[in-house]
């Protein structure tokens, strides 16, 4: 693969947009398939900090604005060929006047069959308006601030807490890490707002993993979602985190899809993207020789090593438990797929460390309906 020219020097943004594109495309097709039998069907894309920012492509194809419109349009075209009509709507919020002018001009030329509405101003000022517009329709919310101001949990919660909505949040770890322990009162207040903390500050000296464990917890408890997971977008040329994308939703399929997208983009593509960023034009790139990204490989390998103990610990606390109840809990914490966890559960079964009940025929992997129980609790 070759990084598009407009992303040269912005490889971390390319990976972020690849995750957004892959997830949103699958999300739109899935919802279209679920609701295609209804008389009136509408899908929404809401870009809460639309920009466009740092776009190098004149057609703005390297922006979340274009990615959102493309995903909706492609899903509608797919189902239209099968005889089903889907209405499409999008909302784009942008406070910067210059960026908003560019956004408005782009939408006038490009929206096509999508009812796209640009809103000038602060995201937080439009939360109620957005809720009234979406009502009970399926919606995908993308929260991608340039820092953290305006993206507080109090603004995300009223939108994300409604069933049928997924939210993807770009937590700018590189920026937040610099200021999360800053004692200045205005920064402490901003951090409390971002994390949704009302009675205390962000605890001092948290590691990266502890910080995001806190954020996921707050997204579930204050943001009103049932499931929350994250992935790492690393710096293009250094082995450190640049972004962390956090997904929140109400159906366990959210976590399953997110981990598949993570494996495809962060596992299969990020290594080559970062290699190109580090060594453009060198022979190993011409030959296409690349390797998995070390950041994802570490998280993935750790997840596989810890999965078995996670399963046994969960069953010790609550047994029996169906595989369908168990796997979302673990995938929210571990960077592995449902199929990979299923293999680990089957190993525990063959070792006699747990029992998979109600197996059928030649079944060799757990299904959602299978009950898992510890041997001494049968």
pLDDT digits (tens, 9 = 90+) for 190-247: 999 999 999 899 999 999 999 999 999 999 999 999 999 999 999 888 888 999 999 9
Instruction: Say yes or no to pLDDT of 286 above 50.
Output: no
Q: Determine the 3-state secondary structure of 162 from DSSP.
A: coil
Phi, psi of 227 (to 5 degrees): -125, 140
* Euclidean distance between CA atoms 140 and 370, whole angstroms: 31
Q: Structure pTM?
A: 0.94
Topology adopted by domain 296-377: Arc Repressor Mutant, subunit A (1.10.10)
Phi, psi of 347 (to 5 degrees): -60, -45
Does residue 338 or residue 61 have the better pLDDT?
Answer: 338
**What burial class does residue 220 get, using C-beta atoms within 10 Å of its C-beta: 0-12 exposed, 13-18 middle, 19+ buried?**
middle
Topology adopted by domain 5-278: Rossmann fold (3.40.50)
Q: What is the pLDDT of residues 257-277, one digit of tens each?
A: 999 999 999 999 988 888 888
Instruction: Say yes or no to pLDDT of 289 above 70.
Output: no
User: What average pLDDT does this structure show over 161-172?
Assistant: 96
The angle formed by the CA atoms of residues 323, 328 and 329, to the nearest 5 degrees, is 100
- In the chain, CATH 1.10.10.10 sits at 296-377
Q: How far is CA 113 from the centre of its chain?
A: 26
Q: What is the pLDDT of residues 96-140, one digit of tens each?
A: 999 999 999 999 988 678 999 999 999 999 999 999 999 999 999
Q: What is the pLDDT of residues 7-59, one digit of tens each?
A: 888 889 999 999 999 999 999 988 888 876 676 678 999 999 998 876 665 66
Instruction: Say yes or no to pLDDT of 285 above 50.
Output: no
- In the chain, CATH 3.40.50.150 sits at 5-278
Q: Which range is least confidently modeled, 60-74, 135-149, 160-174, 181-195?
A: 60-74
* Euclidean distance between CA atoms 91 and 119, whole angstroms: 7
Q: Are 64 and 51 in contact (CB under 8 A)?
A: yes
């Amino acid at each position: 693969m070759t990084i598009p020219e407009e992303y040269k020097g912005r490889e971390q943004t390319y990976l972020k947009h690849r995750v957004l594109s892959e997830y949103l495309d699958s999300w739109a097709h899935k919802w279209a398939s679920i609701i295609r039998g209804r008389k009136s069907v509408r899908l929404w894309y809401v870009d809460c900090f639309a920009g466009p920012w740092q776009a190098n492509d004149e057609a703005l194809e390297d922006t979340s604005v274009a990615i959102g419109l493309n995903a909706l349009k492609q899903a509608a075209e797919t189902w239209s060929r099968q005889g089903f009509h889907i209405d499409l709507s999008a909302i784009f919020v942008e406070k910067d006047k210059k960026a908003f002018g560019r956004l408005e001009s782009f939408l006038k030329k490009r929206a096509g069959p999508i009812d796209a509405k640009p809103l000038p101003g602060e995201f937080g000022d439009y939360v109620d308006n957005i809720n009234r517009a979406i009502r009970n329709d399926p919606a995908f919310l993308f929260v991608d601030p340039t820092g953290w101001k305006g993206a507080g949990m109090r603004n995300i919660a009223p939108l994300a807490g409604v069933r049928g909505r997924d939210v993807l949040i770009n937590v700018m770890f590189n920026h937040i890490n610099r200021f999360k322990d800053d004692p200045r009162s205005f920064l402490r207040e901003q951090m409390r707002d971002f994390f949704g903390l009302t009675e205390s500050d962000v605890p001092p000296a948290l590691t990266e993993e502890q910080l995001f464990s806190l954020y996921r917890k707050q997204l579930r408890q204050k943001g009103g979602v049932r499931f929350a997971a994250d992935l790492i977008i690393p710096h293009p040329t250094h082995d450190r985190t640049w972004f962390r994308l956090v997904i929140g939703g109400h159906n366990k399929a959210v976590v399953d899809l997110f981990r598949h997208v993570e494996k495809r983009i962060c596992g299969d593509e990020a290594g080559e993207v970062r290699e190109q960023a580090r060594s453009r034009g060198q022979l190993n790139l011409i030959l296409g020789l690349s390797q998995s990204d070390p950041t994802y490989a570490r998280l993935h390998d750790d997840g596989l090593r810890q999965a078995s103990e996670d399963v046994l610990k969960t069953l010790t606390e609550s047994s029996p438990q169906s595989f369908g109840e168990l796997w979302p809990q673990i995938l929210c914490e571990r960077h592995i797929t449902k199929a990979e966890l299923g293999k680990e559960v089957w190993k525990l079964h063959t070792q006699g460390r747990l029992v998979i009940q109600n197996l059928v025929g030649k079944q060799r992997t757990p299904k959602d309906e299978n009950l898992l129980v510890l041997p001494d609790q049968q």
